[in-house]
Amino acid sequence: DVKVTQSSRYLVKRTGEKVFLECVQDMDHENMFWYRQDPGLGLRLIYFSYDVKMKEKGDIPEGYSVSREKKERFSLILESASTNQTSMYLCASTGVDEQFFGPGTRLTVL
């Protein structure tokens, strides 16, 4: 089975902490994405990457950065977590016909 995995299902952090969310895919996909999902707002694209070491800003990149050192791994970094970054974070990678999503990380920033 193809898979996109995320390092944590649930995470609780304090304001100001640096937070790393890891995503790994085993499908040799070139394109990977980070979204956040909030009630009433749907999925919003934070960053995406179409190749190793390549990244592009999505719709809401402020407060986030990303790292893609290896093809299979795409990391989302919250440099200094804030309470408004409490959300569900979804990682995805793109195949020929579909986008495969990970199970999500529910992050709470206190």
Partner 1 sequence: DAKTTQPPSMDCAEGRAANLPCNHSTISGNEYVYWYRQIHSQGPQYIIHGLKNNETNEMASLIITEDRKSSTLILPHATLRDTAVYYCIVREYMNYGGSQGNLIFGKGTKLSVKP
Q: How far is the CB of 38 from partner 1 (least distance, A)?
A: 12
Contacts of 78-84 with CB under 8 Å at 24 or more apart are 78/13, 78/17, 78/18, 78/19, 78/21, 79/18, 80/16, 80/17, 80/18, 81/13, 81/14, 81/15, 81/16, 81/17, 81/18, 81/19, 81/107, 81/109, 82/15, 82/109, 83/15, 83/109, 83/110
**Beta pairing partners, 23:** 6, 74
Site string for partner 1, 66-105 (x = CB under 8 A): ------------------------x-x-xxxxxxxxxxx-
> Closer to partner 1 at the Cβ: 33 or 64?
33
> Closer to partner 1 at the Cβ: 33 or 78?
33
Q: How far is the CB of 81 from partner 1 (least distance, A)?
A: 22
> Closer to partner 1 at the Cβ: 17 or 74?
74
According to the binding rule CB under 8 A, does residue 43 interact with partner 1? yes
Residues forming the site for partner 1 (CB under 8 A) = 4, 30-31, 33, 40, 42-43, 45, 48, 50, 56, 58, 90, 92, 94-104, 106
